[in-house]
Structure 1
């Protein structure tokens, strides 16, 4: 994982082409990518890609996507919403939001332990 100004980059190897390539994970809308023949080149291109993205946003006068800010809106059916609220109440959570956060946190912990999700800060 690469990190720069709150943005996270993930690299992969293309053995056939002999190149490292990657994308900025927390720029879902704008699909920023980077590459290099060495790790150092790929890291440098990642930094340059983020800077280019921020400059482009300024030049085009739009607000760049921010690294994740902590608010996540989800859509649920009324029945699922009811089940979440009921489970939260029955299990003594302070809110449905707390129940959802704890449930997701537990799932992510399991994925990290199994190696299916890389460890991240925070």
Structure 2
């Protein structure tokens, strides 16, 4: 599945349970487990919004910082040979390794750009 519901920077999955004959989902890419369900897509989306709103309110009341999806920091295990090749290429281009990797990812995510 590649489509998600989006609300306040959070992504929610859309799944179906044949056993329970209902739609359900969870807020994706955060440490906290936040789930919701509904009988229709509209109800599921409404419950997703309600779940995010309740989570954010509970974090505020408790004085804790809410989890955010994908912090922007990603550790990669490239292996020695690939790491060395990336370092050499970045040096040749006069850019940082991070910039080279971000550029390669951008080209993959947006090939026509």
Shorter-chain TM band: 0.7 to 0.9
Deviations 1:12-45 (A, max 9, x none): 112332111111113x210211110111111111
Segments of 5+ residues of structure 2 without an aligned counterpart are none
Deviation (angstroms), 1:59: 2.4
TM-score (ref. length: structure 1): 0.71
2:105 aligned with 1:96, yes or no?
no
TM-score (ref. length: structure 2): 0.76
2:87 to 70, 85, 88: 85
Contact 2:28-2:69 at 8 Å conserved across structures: no
Contact 1:2-1:43 at 8 Å conserved across structures: yes
Deviations 1:30-88 (A, max 9, x none): 0211110111111111011101111221222210013445x324154783543321132
Q: Which secondary structure does the structure 1 equivalent of 2:104 belong to?
A: helix
The aligned residue for residue 65 of structure 2 is: 63
- 1:1-122 equivalences in 2 (<5 Å): 1-26=4-29, 28-68=30-70, 71-76=72-77, 79=80, 80-90=82-92, 92=93, 94-108=95-109
Larger relative contact order (Cα-Cα within 8 Å, sequence gap ≥ 6): 2
Aligned length: 107
How well do the aligned residues superpose, as a CA RMSD in angstroms?
A: 2.4
Segments of 5+ residues of structure 1 without an aligned counterpart are 111-122
